[in-house]
Chain A
């Protein structure tokens, strides 16, 4: 499953006084089985970008290829694309509409043509996967706490078992355990199913910890694209663009600034811990 964006530009309200160029000549290749993080300041074009990947938004100019096929070709099955590329939206409350949580999660699989029984099984599995409390299965999705709503929305997409899973800030509003559980679940799905995962996030710590490749958006353009270690070595450039690096990366930079011989670019708690323990054993922490 590969997705190629070839010089994609997107303008909202083109031709009016409110025209906004939200994507500006973006070219990217997203390969099968990758776990990709997208970061960028608010309004940098992250949500606009991912809505192109399942055909919800149509590029103003440029082309998109899904497994080599031009998705704007009139023979291309766009409706099919939407079930293969599952999307959890940034404001999942807008995604909930059925009378009960359980019916809401069943809706996607039923729409894919599964029997009621299969859809029920899928819904049950998806709700358990996100640890949704079963005493609320029959509750209206509108009478849930913020985090419970988000879990319900995520379950609705998981139940469709898409090939590519796109999550737009899925951990916003979840409690820390919920954030960890969800990211661990996504990581596990990625490892087990080789599914392509795209995670949009404002948490530098989370992308550093979970993804293999980070795409940094800035004013509608791709500013950086690389591993967490490379991307997070650009501290000042990221800060100038409304971003930051993980707290542990700042810490290691500051130790370096004190003349301590820090090696590598730690971006996760684990790598920072190992490097500090190494420095400590070498007696190099006191200068």
Chain B
């Protein structure tokens, strides 16, 4: 669906992005992960041509983006900015109507679509006539997302969409987002420097450093088959947590027949805080779970 080939971008003498290539399949969720200044934003913006690469090409559906008119290209790609980028002089309703208006939608259609998204994103319809400054950070972020989804673009680029939020809000919005059917079908490239976020949201992760890709792969591949010391070191701090969160019960417990999306972490949570959760049907203890996990890792 999206293919980047040998992208290079220099600002003056410093190289922001150095020969990057990757591919994202339709419906896939690719995370660009890395420390500040490693070139994530630059990479993302080369996809919708907000930045032109010095060399290399981006293809969407097999067509090189530099063969398309930039405005037309961008209207077909959802773009969510780090600090939402809502127009302060437009109301919420006007903000989310921007792209449909550019595409000459009828007002009735815009209203209908807006209502639909408001509902899905848990936004109070009363907010429609307010200005962005009157909204909370979480609300602004949702509106920003709603705006990028209005015309239902097949591709969504998100640059640290939760960057401006506090940790708790961030975690809860993230959960909501993952459950959104609107997002499930989309091809998404998302930038973050938060490892947990990357692991939670990504089908695959592209870990970058100093403008170069260090490794690109699924969360488990990064964890268990790090390509180099940088990758291993980058994840080290939170390795335990990440491992628990990214390993599924079904892989650890032979003969497990429950919910397939449950991770070891979920099960541990269930065992350690029984009050908050419905107890599982099996008789598994925390010791058994841990030794099964250890056995899995040795394989």
Q: Do A and B come from one complex?
A: no
Residues of B within 8 A of A (CB): none
**A positions within 8 Å CB-CB of B:** none
